[in-house]
A and B are shown apart, each in its own frame.
Chain A
Amino acid sequence: MNLHEYQARDILRRHGIPVPPGEVATTPGEARASAQRLGGKVVVKAQVHAGGRGKAGGVKLANSAAEAEAHARAILGMTIKGLTVHKVLIAPAATIASESYVGIIVDRASQRPVLMVSPAGGIDIEEVAAKTPERIHRLAVDPRYGLLSHQALGLGFALYGDLNQARAAADIMQKLYQVVYAVGASLAEINPLATTPEGAVQALDAKIVIDDNEVERRPEIAALRDVTAEAREEVAAREAGLTFIKLDGNVGCCVNGAGLAMATMDLVKYYGGEPANFLDIGGSSKAQKVVAALRIMTSDPRVKVILFNIFGGITRGDDVANGIVQATHELSLKVPIVIRLTGTNEGEAMEILTKAGFSALTDMDEAVKQAVARAKGTAA
């Protein structure tokens, strides 16, 4: 789950990390009022779960409150990578002496939280990693002891030659490490960590990604979810207990299990088709889940065919079959359905489907070929 920049800044501030002031606005008028309160030059920043906001025109400098209002008018409602901007952050335009990067991720290889710092801040850290890897310093933290003071100070000196600034940076790193465990973050970064001309060290921009598995046990974090900032179908899928990711093709895929779902999409492509989505209906599938899945997939007019690929293990074939039959009663489906179903309770499932006038295949390749042919309109 992604947090907005303003939410991440709030969290850092609450953990004692110095963050300059800022206000959230949802209308141009509010943006103007915020700019007036803050005084001087301000930046107007789109709050949207997409990278490359600046390049897309979602970050603008305003010399006056009137200009802030005009920028907010342009940015609110704008679409960045398919997502509409509903909020802007108004923050004072700081004069910056230097920009660094500080981030913590959970690293798969070392199986530990890894602190990454770089004096080359303000730009995409992946770019720094690719072009000048020697400018990134990494430390795998032992979670039993946390980030130790001397480790943090060592990294502080990798950013700043000045003792006070190195100490300030070290303190920020230790607090950021606490933030990770306090909110259940899989990523927390400050980019840039800036110094002012007076020498103060501040977090100017922050990004926090929450591990989806943490959300349930942290109601205060769950409350930060902004459903208006997410794709509509994906919100509906999550509420139905499904994992759904929209793609650009026209073959709707409904599969049990993530690995098989990916392999099904790949096979659609292999036979010359384009998958419309990733959709995992999960292990113990109830008929109602299948109904929800069909509703979500068929809400996209580009989808020309629905392909079911079910390998019954925990998932019972008869549950899915009942779901398909029930869904065809509840929804008026305009697209053909191709069903591949094998495994647990295959016999019962076939009987249910046959009675309802469907036919089902047991071979995955055959089913995918048929679905692709249907999508292209070349089926017999």
Chain B
Amino acid sequence: MSVLIDTSTRLLVQGITGRDGSFHAKQMLAYGTKVVAGVTPGKGGQRFEGAVPVFNTVAEAVHETQANTSVIYVPAALAASAIFEAADSGIGLIVCITEGIPVLDMTRVLPFVHERGARLIGPNCPGLISPGKSKVGIIPGNICQPGKIGVVSRSGTLTYEIIHQLSTNGLGQSTCVGIGGDPLIGTNFIHCLTAFEADPGTAAIVMIGEIGGTDEQQAAEFVKESVKKPVVGFIAGQTAPPGRRMGHAGAIISGSSGTAAEKMTALANAGISVMKRPADVVPLLRERL
């Protein structure tokens, strides 16, 4: 089993003819994801890789192909509009890879997505993968293995590092979700923890957080109250100085709030096994499984 995406995922790629969109659409096809449509305004009628029909609008693509999930690779200036369009066209799961969307745009996008009953993952995220079933986004498929560990993370390459540690030690994954490094995101830790807790195919959960905000602290409270499965956690940014954005727009210690130490304490108090370094993930999981 898995969460959010599986073999019933029918994927639409917004920005399929662009540099990033076309590269990753090929990778997703090669992984076995059912890529049923692409959208690039003005390129309707073409076929991507001779197989995937391209449409001018998301509404048309959904009508013709019954796509139920969309992944967005369009440039930052167009990305908010792409999310509005996907939500307005009945897409249930929208995954926005694009980095650099202004946060004020997101204050308008998020209530709209919510009202349309859609779920947004990201923006500024690597997407998600249910190994052996479906990949939506940019997580390299070759580092993943099917299995029973659920992974949820605010990061990209740090997630790959953790997945790599898991796979090379025989711990496969049910689903890996990158929720994104921006301050305003569509799906948070609690949403993913809820899904993993309910998923019979997930035996344990790895959550990878970082400095900035209070999402990890709220997630820790939630784990204490509502998660029975073992949870192992990591927080990046123990050496980050306050007041500086550490690459991700959301990774910033404001005043004395949002530090790694504060988050690690919150995780530990909730009964989560806290890693000191990425290589601790395997031994800590083995202790709890």
Closest to B178 in A: A259
1/0 contact trace for B234-258 toward A, CB 8 Å? 1011111100111111110001100
Is B30 among interface residues, defined by CB-CB distance under 8 A?
no
Closest Cβ–Cβ distance, residue A196 to chain B (whole Å): 31
Closest Cβ–Cβ distance, residue A101 to chain B (whole Å): 15
Q: A180-B104, A266-B239 are in contact. Are A108 and B213 (CB under 8 A)?
A: yes
Closest to A112 in B: B107
Contact A144 B158 (CB under 8 A): no
Is B156 among interface residues, defined by CB-CB distance under 8 A?
yes
How many chain B residues touch the partner (CB < 8 A)? 59
Is B200 among interface residues, defined by CB-CB distance under 8 A?
no
Within 8 A of A (CB), among B110-168: 110-111, 126, 138-140, 143, 153-161, 164
1/0 contact trace for A145-187 toward B, CB 8 Å? 0000000000000000000000000000000000011001010
Contact B104 A184 (CB under 8 A): yes
Counting chain B CB atoms within 10 Å of each CB, the highest count among A213, A216, A312, A315 belongs to A213
Is A212 among interface residues, defined by CB-CB distance under 8 A?
yes
Q: Which of A53-61, A267-275, A293-301, A349-357 contacts B (4 or more CB under 8 A)?
A: A267-275
**A255–B278 Cα gap in the complex (Å)?**
15
Contact B279 A111 (CB under 8 A): no
Contact B214 A109 (CB under 8 A): yes
Contact B160 A278 (CB under 8 A): no
Is B102 among interface residues, defined by CB-CB distance under 8 A?
yes
| Pick from A106, A247, A365: contact of B183, CB under 8 Å | A106
Closest Cβ–Cβ distance, residue B66 to chain A (whole Å): 30
Cβ of A268: which chain B residues have Cβ within 8 Å of it?
239
Contact A266 B104 (CB under 8 A): no
User: Does more than half of chain B's interface fall in helix, strand or loop, or is it mixed?
Assistant: loop
Closest to A245 in B: B244
Contact A278 B240 (CB under 8 A): yes
Closest to A126 in B: B255
Closest to B254 in A: A126
Contact A186 B181 (CB under 8 A): no
Is A36 among interface residues, defined by CB-CB distance under 8 A?
no
Counting chain A CB atoms within 10 Å of each CB, the highest count among B157, B158, B159, B215 belongs to B157
Cβ of B101: which chain A residues have Cβ within 8 Å of it?
213
**A255–B164 Cα gap in the complex (Å)?**
17
Closest Cβ–Cβ distance, residue B109 to chain A (whole Å): 10
Contact B104 A258 (CB under 8 A): no
Closest Cβ–Cβ distance, residue B80 to chain A (whole Å): 11
1/0 contact trace for B88-114 toward A, CB 8 Å? 000000000000111110111011000
Is B197 among interface residues, defined by CB-CB distance under 8 A?
no
Q: A313-B140, A314-B138 are in contact. Are A257 and B157 (CB under 8 A)?
A: yes
1/0 contact trace for A352-370 toward B, CB 8 Å? 0000000000001100000
Contact B276 A270 (CB under 8 A): yes
**A184–B135 Cα gap in the complex (Å)?**
34
Known contacts A278-B240, A342-B164; can you find 4 more A-B pairs with CB under 8 A?
A126-B255, A257-B247, A278-B246, A313-B156
Listed A/B pairs (30) with beta-carbon separation below 8 Å: A106-B103, A106-B107, A106-B183, A108-B183, A108-B213, A108-B214, A111-B107, A112-B107, A144-B111, A211-B103, A213-B100, A214-B104, A243-B247, A259-B208, A259-B251, A260-B155, A260-B156, A260-B160, A262-B240, A262-B246, A263-B234, A263-B236, A263-B277, A269-B239, A278-B244, A313-B139, A314-B20, A343-B143, A343-B160, A364-B279
Q: Which residues of A contact B (CB under 8 A)?
A: 106, 108-109, 111-113, 126, 142-144, 180-181, 184, 186, 211-214, 216-217, 243, 245, 247, 255-263, 265-270, 275, 278, 280, 283-284, 311-315, 342-344, 364-365
